[in-house]
Each structure stands twice: as structure tokens, then as C-alpha cells.
A and B are shown apart, each in its own frame.
Chain A
Amino acid sequence: MPEASRLPEKPAAGAGRPLLEVESLARYFRVMAPWVERLLEGKRPRLLKAVDGVSFAIPSGRTLAIVGESGCGKSTVARLVAGLYRPTQGTIRIDGLDAVHAKNATERRHIRRQLQMIFQDPMASLNPRWRVRDIIAEPIRAFGLVKSRAEIERQVAELLTHVGLAPIDGEKFPHEFSGGQRQRISIARALSSRPRLLLCDEPTSALDVSVQAQILNLMRDLQREMGLTYLFISHNLAVVRHMADRIAVMYLGRIAETAEAETLFAAPRHPYTRLLLETIPDPLKPKRDREPLAGEVPNPLDPPPGCAFNPRCPFANERCRKERPELKRARAGHGWAEVACHGVEEGRI
């Protein structure tokens, strides 16, 4: 049973109440061995705890970024919030309403309308046989927001202009666009049902840097203009630095540290956060001839007991190998962070 790793979120001055609240969220997957092995060797299905007790809240109009390495569960969190998976445990509240157990169809519809998703690979998320205008109009039609064809056309043209394309581009097919332009189309589609919350799962990871800059700038402009709230999933700390108000660092299904973006970059507390910041190759500040920390992310099917990071942690002691740390408030530079680390709690780190 996942314990609630509580995150008392202090909304910054001027920010509204949380649009998205996630509490002790968990999702376990049953991993089956191949059929023959199950039959011959009697192998049992094993439990993969992709997300194991994650809590956070995003105030309206702000950006929370979840960062971590592959397999840490960050995309699963986005998919749980989007309703693509049902949580094993925990609650998701969107605009104050329970998104997992909606009372009725009207309420479920209201919740669904609040959010849209942007995925990593725009080619895989755009139907290659549809014209761009139909792709963008689909959410408008699905929610029945506008009835008249002329009005739909007008809105699609407006959305295309908004994301930096021309209304005439609506007549084309996705393959006629470059990667960056395709991601603009995904964004236009996501915005067409006028959502308040955008779940962005590695939206620029498949793009070249000069195009990535265009998309990140566009996303920030749109947020400012339309008051959007972002849940931003990325493995790239430099991108996150540019986008996020608050950051949660995930490791093996749990949050290791969370803090305001400025605080996290100025004074990282968790040894894993420090490792991540230390290992980013920065073109302007090359850390030549360093010997990086050894070790890899453990197999999530067989996580180490105690703190999941203990086999790689230079500060690990007996307690870290036995007892799993919970998120606790800790001083971080001039600010505060929530850190799941015995060493930080005991003042060793």
C-alpha cells in the first residue's frame, strides 16, 4: 500500500486554487512472463510499481514539470491524469472534481473538457489520412462546441494563425509539414476545445534545438495569453528550467524532491537531483575530465529496499538501505523544498 507522500503546496501570491490536485497516486502493472515460461516453470506475474504514491497540485495558470530518467514513471503520471490509465490507488481532482470517479456523464464531460494532451512524436499523434483542418476541428466536433460549419472553419483558421501557421495550411496533410510545424498542429488541436490544462509529454524531445526553441517560446506565449496550466513531462532539465514554475524530480515511481524551479536549480538537496544537475553536458560550461558517478537506474521490477536511490548514493547508510524515506520539508538555499532523503532530514547532506 503506497503511503501518501504529502506535498503541502503553497500557492504563490496571485495564483488561483489548484486546477489539478493529485493525491497518493499509484499505478501498478502486472508483468507476465511469456506463456511457455509460465506453463513450464510456473512463473508468477510480477508487480511493476510504475507510479507509487505521488502527490502534487498545480495552481491555475502555472507549470509543474516532472523530470526523471526513462522508466521513472513520469509519463505514466501524465497518462493517469489524462484518464488513459485508471489509477491503482489515489485520487485525481481536476477543477475540484474527482476525475477518477465522476458522479455522472455531465460531470465526466466537464472534467474531460478541461484537459488536452501533447505528445512527443507529432507524426504518430496526427492521423496521416486527415487534412489538418479536420484534425484540428475534431475536438470541437467531439465536444459539440460549435455547430455551424462556417464557425468551425473560422475557429480552425484562427487556431492555425495562433500557432504560427497560415489558414491555408489547413488544406494540407501532416506529411507535408516539418517536425516543428507538425508539433504546432498538435498544439492547435489541443487548444481547439479550449482546455485549461495541457499535459505535455516530452513535447520537444523529437525536435532539433533551433525548432525546439520556437516551440517552447510558442508554448510560453500561449500560456501567458490564455492562462493555461501545464503539466510538463521531460527528461531535459535545461528545457524544464525554461518552462517550469515548480519542479518534481521522480525516481523509480516516487518523487525524490520537489521545489520551486529557482530554488531547485539554485540549491538542489536530494543527491539524485544533484547527480542530474551535475551530469548535464552544458555547452557553455563544459565540465571536462570529470569522473561521473557510477551506477544505473535499478530494475523497477526489483527495486532495492529502503530508498530506491541508495545503491548509487554516496551518502547512503544502514537506514537508507532499510527504511523508505518520505517527502519532508527542508531548507534549500533561500527557499524550501520537499525532499525524500534520510540524509537531508538528519542534516548529513
Chain B
Amino acid sequence: MALLEVRDLRVEIPTRRGVLTILDGVSFDIAPGEVLGLVGESGAGKSISGLAIIGLLEPPARIADGTVTLEGRRIDNLPREEMRRIRGARIGTIFQDPLTSLNPLYTIGRQLVETIQTHTTLTTRQAEARAVDLLKQVGIPAAESRLNAYPHEFSGGMRQRVVISLALCAEPVLVIADEPTTALDVSIQAQIIALLKRLCREHRTAVLLITHDMGVIAETADRVAVMYAGRIAEIGPVGTVVNRPKHPYSAGLMGSIPTVERRLDKLPQIKGAMPRPGALPHGCAFAPRCGYARDLCRAERPELMRTGETESACFQYDRRWEKAHA
């Protein structure tokens, strides 16, 4: 059984000029211990998906439709207080900027102990021992003496390690990591990815890894969902999506990433830019930028269709494609 089930999730923001649909019909599962990568460009709805799952959507944004089920229990309609207990205990979170996730006025020891005691019945001394143990696990040197240090006394990479230890301190079953390495330099980024992978494997924690960096996804994820304009364009095993993408958008996205392997005379590029919510074209949102688009794509919105190992929201894999006019 899936650990997390997201079904037909729709997120809306009511504005003076009408309701903006930010996410529409987003569905995916995460199995226990699995790493699902969520990629897409800015504004595609990746972060909103993560926030909707943990119930941290900023009003007026709201879940308008769909369900989120964790360990067989619906969590999208829980009262605030109950949801607060699930966050931290069952779902841990790691955000992009470690400095904003940590309270600058408290020592990291105090923040760890507080978080541990919120979710367990440990005494302060036991919680402190657990905090030291956690800091050791995330590779902080001289962990005992660092308990009394403040966040500003750590470097960016070390701070992100502290945030990871906070996210894991109550042994959650799922961690939502939103751009966990984007603020870090490449050599530090590699350390943090390796750490996150090792810890989640050891604790059998599932991860929803949200990032715009296809390289990070390829290193880390088991499966990947490519998002475009608030919907999933393609979802499948990471190797297939990276090497043999089926959706024209994932193919274009993969092609446009410069690699160190070779120098091309011209990088393949997708013309135009992603439409903003509220200005989505009729039919497939990618159709205006797509080289394959036919009249069918402009008339109707494609749902995810199975094509080999992946599912792709593209009419090329529909029975009606052959009869459609270009």
C-alpha cells in the first residue's frame, strides 16, 4: 500500500479578478522508503504541492478539491491542531534556506530538544542525548559542544545538516524536502544529497524531493514527476524519464540542460515561457510551445496516459492522435 496518496488535488487562490487555479488534478503515490522527485520550472506548482500536503498553504490559497491520504488516513481535512501533531511527528520538512528554518535566538540544542520533546515523552536529559546522537548522524563534528551554538555560528552546509536532523528527530515516515540544496555550493550540495539519501535509507523514510535541478533528481530519486503549469506532465521511473522522456515538455526540459560531457553548438531550447496561472491556454497548457501540437491538443486537455514505463499527459499516446489534424 502506498504511504502517501495524493488524488486529484486542486489548489485555488481567490483574487479580486477571479479564482486562480494553481494546481489542477495532481495525483501521485509514494511508497514507504521511496524517493519521489518533483521537478519543474518556477511557477509550475511544485512547492505548492508540498505545502498542500503538509497543510501549510498560505491563505487565501486553499485546497479546493481532491484528497491527501497518509498511512491510510485522510489528512487534508484535519483540524489545525491535529494536523500540527502530524507535521513533525509523521512528516518532516526541509526547506531551501536553512537560516529561515532555524530560530536565530535559540541555540540549536534547545531547538532540537524542544522538537524532540514535542513529539516524544523523553525527559530533557534523554532528549539532549538524542539530539547529540542526531547531530552525529548528520555529520556535525564535535556534536556535544555544538549543542550550545547558535545558527549563525554554523556554515550554510552545516546549518542544512542541523535542519535535516530537526526534520528527522521524531522519526517521520515521510520527509518533504523543498529545494534542500539550492542555496548551497555544488561541493556542499553533493554532501547534503548523499547524507539525505543515506539517512532516509537507514530509517526507511520516504521523501518527496522538490527541486528544479534535474541533476539532483537523477542522483537521488527513484521516480520522478515532471510538473508543468500546475499539472503533472509525466511521471515514471527516474532513469526512463531522464533518458527516454515521452512528454515533449520533459524531452525539451532534459535537452535544454547544459552538461559537462559535451559542448553543443546550440543548446536545444523550448521557445516561449510557461503560461501563468489565470492565463492558461485552452486544451494542453504546453500546446503553444510544442512542436507536435495538433488541433486535438488545443481543443482538449490531456490526462495522464500509460506509455511503457511512464505515464504521460500527451495526446500522442491517445487513440485519437492519428486522426487529429496538425
Contacts and interface: CB of A to CB of B under 8 A. Distances in A.
Interface of A: 69-70, 178-181, 208-214, 216-217, 220, 235-239, 241-242, 261-262, 265, 275-277, 279-294, 296-297
B26 interface: no
A281 B184 CA distance: 13
A283 B185 contact: no
B81 to A, nearest CB: 38
Contacts of A262: 263
B230 to A, nearest CB: 15
Contacts of A292: 187, 190-191, 194
Contact of A283 (B139, B257, B263, B271): B257
A292 B157 CA distance: 13
Nearest to B197: A289
B213, B261, B269: which has the most chain A beta carbons within 10 Å? B269
B267 A279 contact: no
A268 to B, nearest CB: 10
Contacts of A293: 187
B155 interface: yes
A283 B252 contact: no
15 contacts: A209-B253, A210-B253, A213-B257, A235-B185, A238-B258, A241-B258, A276-B186, A276-B187, A280-B260, A281-B189, A281-B190, A281-B215, A281-B216, A284-B259, A292-B191
B17 interface: no
B256 interface: yes
A209 B187 contact: no
Contact of A217 (B187, B215, B252, B269): B269
Contacts of B139: 294
Given A213-B269, A292-B194, A296-B155, A282 B259 contact: yes
B187 A275 contact: yes
Nearest to A180: B273
Contact of A210 (B157, B213, B270): B270
Interface string B255-293: 011111101101111110110000000000000000000
B121 interface: no
Contacts of A239: 258
Contact of A287 (B41, B219, B266): B219
Contacts of A213: 256-258, 267-270
A61 to B, nearest CB: 17
A293 B190 CA distance: 9
Contacts of B252: 210
B193 interface: yes
A242 B268 CA distance: 12
A295 B181 CA distance: 16
A294 B218 CA distance: 21
Interface in B166-193: 185-191, 193
Given A210-B252, A216-B267, A282 B187 contact: no
Contacts of A236: 258
Nearest to A239: B258
B41 A208 contact: yes
A296 B157 contact: yes
Contacts of A282: 215, 218, 259-261
Interface in B190-211: 190-191, 193-194, 197
Contacts of B257: 209, 213, 238, 283
B155 to A, nearest CB: 5
Contacts of B194: 290-292
A213 to B, nearest CB: 4
Most buried by A among B219, B260, B263: B260
A279 to B, nearest CB: 4
B256 A297 contact: no
A332 to B, nearest CB: 16
Interface in B110-155: 139, 155
Nearest to A275: B187
B89 interface: no
Interface in B156-170: 157-158
B243 interface: yes
A306 to B, nearest CB: 20
- The 7 A-B residue pairs with the shortest CB-CB distance, nearest first, are A281-B215, A213-B256, A208-B41, A292-B190, A69-B185, A279-B190, A213-B269
A69 B186 contact: yes
A69 B184 CA distance: 9
